[in-house]
Amino acid sequence: MNRSLEYSSIKPNIPIILASGSESRKQMLEEAGIIFEVKVSSTNEDEIKNQIASLPFREQVIHLAKAKAESVSKEYPENIVIGGDQMCVLGEKVLHKPGSKNKAIESLKLLSNQTHFQHSGVCVYKNNDCIWKYSETVELKMHALNEIEINNYVEMENPIHAAGAYKFESLGCNLFSFVNGSSFTVRGMPLIPLLNALRELDIIDLK
């Protein structure tokens, strides 16, 4: 389990698995009090991305989320499996997780004073079947950042594993002049629609 059975926790009616190694998605479910386990999918994402490259980004994130959840659901068919994916897009360019400080600086220079979009998809699987899926897009405008600000931010937060090279849940929110949409979606998962779905599917409740 990723959370101890604290007073504030919600024990699901069916065990939940998060099919993602994303610290941000894990953190959001923990903040919502959901008890779950993490099983990282072994899906070949690059292969899938090549196959779906012609689709709209909001559909691509659903396909990738489903692929991750399906691979884990095959191993744990009796569990509820949550899959998620996110794409940061500037124009038609996808800004992947930078992986290094130098690439993070490059990404932030591209985003400076520009409007871009965060597309986030999530799905729920049981018995190797997708029982719910959803995607959401947030529009963001970044401040005109100078080189010192960009370098300082990267040094302070080291956002090398974040889509777009910023962590919106912490210092990264200071980079923006305009955000149209949910902060949860910017962080990588449309949390409120997911919680609503889990409730409607009788997987979680406050009883």
Segment 114-167, tens digit of pLDDT: 999 999 999 999 999 999 999 999 999 999 999 999 999 999 999 999 999 999
Q: Is 201 exposed, middle or buried (0-12, 13-18, 19+ CB in 10 A)?
A: middle
Residue 11 lies in a domain: no
Domain count of the fold of the chain: 1
Residue 205 lies in a domain: no
Residue 6 lies in a domain: no
Q: What is the mean pLDDT of the chain?
A: 94
Residue 54 lies in a domain: yes
Measured between alpha carbons, how far is 35 from 105 in angstroms, rounded to an integer? 36
Predicted TM-score (pTM) above 0.85: yes
Residue 72 lies in a domain: yes
Q: List, for residues 78-98, the tens digit of each pLDDT value.
A: 999 999 999 999 999 999 999
Residue 9 lies in a domain: no
Residue 103 lies in a domain: yes
At 172, which CATH number?
Answer: 3.90.950.10
- Is 32 in contact with 48 (CB distance < 8 Å)? no
Residues annotated as catalytic (active site), given as ranges: 85
Domain with 118, as residue range(s), is 16-200
Residue 103 has pLDDT above 50, yes or no: yes
Q: What is the arithmetic mean of pLDDT over 13-40? A: 95
- Is 61 in contact with 87 (CB distance < 8 Å)? yes
Residue 10 lies in a domain: no
